[in-house]
Amino acid sequence: MGAAGPVGVVIMARSPSDPRGKTRLLRQVGVGRAEPLRRALLLDTMDVVRSLEHTVPWLAFSPSWATAEMAEAGDGAFHLLPQRPGSLGDRLIGAFEHLFLAGYAGAMIIGSDLPTLRVDALRSAFLTLVAKQDPVVLGPAEDGGYYLVGLRSPHPELFEEIPWGSDRVLSATLAVAESRQLQTTLLPSWYDVDSPLDLRRVAADSGEEGKRTKAWVRAQEPT
Torsion of CA 122, 217, 205, 23, to 10 degrees: -40
Task: Name the class of domain 2-218.
Answer: alpha beta
Please report, for the chain, how many H helices and E strands are present, in that order: 8, 7
pLDDT level of residue 204 (50, 70, 90 thresholds): very high
Percent of the chain with pLDDT over 90: 85
Which tens digits make up the pLDDT trace of 100-139?
999 999 999 999 999 999 999 999 999 999 999 999 999 9
Rg of the chain in Å (alpha carbons): 17
Model pTM score? 0.94
Mean pLDDT of the chain: 93
CA-to-CA dists, residue 54 to 48, 57, 201, angstroms: 14, 10, 30
What lies within 8 Å, CB to CB, of 200 at 6+ separation is 217
Which tens digits make up the pLDDT trace of 37-81?
999 999 999 999 999 999 999 999 999 999 999 999 999 999 999
